[in-house]
C-alpha cells in the first residue's frame, strides 16, 4: 500500500477589505476635516469680531509711518476696554464727509470669493476704504494750539517735539496753517503724520470716540515693512489734562 503525504495546509489569505469600510473611513476623515475647518473659521471670526482685524492703507496721509498698501493689525479692545492715548494710531469709521466715494474696481467672482473668505477670518478688509487712519493728538478737554515760533504744536500749553511728522523740505512748522481748538467731550483730535498732505481734524473737526474701531499696533504686510507701531509716549509725557 502506498502511503501518500497530505499536502500542507495553505496559509489562509486575508479577507479582502470591504468597500463599505473604506467608504466609511473616508467619510469619517472628511467629517473631521470639515469640523476642524469650521472650528478654525469660527475662532478666526470671533478673533476678528472682538479682538483684532486687518486693514490696508489707501492714502499717503500717514507717511512715512505708514505707506500706501501697507496692511496693519488693529486691536479692537480700544477704546471699549482699553483707553485711547495721545500718540495712538487709530482706525475709525468715517464720521461723515471725510471720505469721497471711490469708484468700484471690477473683480472676478473668484477674487470676490477669496476676499470674502479672507475678510471673514480677519486677514483682509473689504471695507478699508470706509475707514480712516490717523494719529491721536488731543483727548477730550485738551487745548490744541499750533504753531509757536519754533513751529511746534502745543497741548495744554506744553510744546511737543514730534519725530513722526513728515515735513516738506525747508519747512519746520508741523502744520501748514495755524489753529487753536478745544477738544469737546467724547471726541478726539487726530492728525496725519504727513501733515502737509492730510485732511484731518484741522479740516473736518474732531472724531467721536464712538467711531473708533481700534488702535493699530503692527504693520503686518509687506514682510519687509513688518514692525510695531510706536505711540511715542515720551512725546506726550509732560502733557497734563487741563484744569
Catalytic residues: 61, 134
CA distance 43 to 176: 46
C-alpha cell at 210: 464712538
Q: Tell me the chain's radius of gyration from C-alpha atoms.
A: 30
CA distances from 237 to 80, 169, 179, 226, 227 (A): 23, 28, 22, 27, 23
- To 10 degrees, what angle do helices 109-120 and 19-50 make? 70
Q: Where are the alpha helices (DSSP H) in 51-184?
A: 109-120
CA distance 154 to 174: 11
Amino acid at each position: 500500500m502506498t502511503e501518500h503525504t497530505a499536502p500542507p495546509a495553505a496559509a489562509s489569505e486575508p479577507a479582502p477589505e470591504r468597500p463599505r469600510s473604506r467608504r466609511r473611513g473616508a467619510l469619517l476623515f472628511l467629517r473631521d476635516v470639515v469640523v476642524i475647518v469650521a472650528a478654525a473659521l469660527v475662532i478666526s471670526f470671533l478673533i476678528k469680531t472682538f479682538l483684532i482685524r486687518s486693514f490696508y492703507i489707501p492714502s499717503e496721509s500717514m507717511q512715512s509711518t505708514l505707506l500706501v498698501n501697507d496692511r496693519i493689525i488693529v486691536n479692537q479692545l480700544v477704546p471699549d476696554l482699553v483707553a485711547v492715548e495721545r500718540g495712538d494710531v487709530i482706525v475709525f469709521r468715517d464720521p461723515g464727509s471725510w471720505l469721497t466715494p471711490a469708484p468700484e474696481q471690477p473683480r472676478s467672482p473668484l477674487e470676490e470669493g477669496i476676499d470674502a473668505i479672507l475678510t471673514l477670518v480677519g486677514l483682509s478688509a473689504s471695507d478699508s476704504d470706509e475707514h480712516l487712519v490717523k494719529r491721536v493728538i488731543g483727548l477730550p478737554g485738551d487745548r490744541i494750539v499750533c504753531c509757536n515760533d519754533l513751529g511746534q504744536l502745543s497741548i495744554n500749553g506744553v510744546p511737543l517735539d514730534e519725530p513722526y511728522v513728515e515735513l516738506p523740505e525747508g519747512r519746520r512748522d508741523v502744520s501748514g496753517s495755524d489753529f487753536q481748538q478745544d477738544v469737546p467731550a467724547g471726541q478726539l483730535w487726530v492728525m496725519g503724520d504727513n501733515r502737509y498732505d492730510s485732511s484731518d481734524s484741522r479740516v473736518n473737526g474732531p472724531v467721536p470716540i464712538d467711531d473708533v474701531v481700534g488702535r493699530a499696533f503692527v504693520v503686518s504686510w509687506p514682510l519687509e515693512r513688518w514692525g510695531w507701531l510706536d505711540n511715542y509716549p515720551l512725546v506726550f509725557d509732560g502733557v497734563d489734562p487741563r484744569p
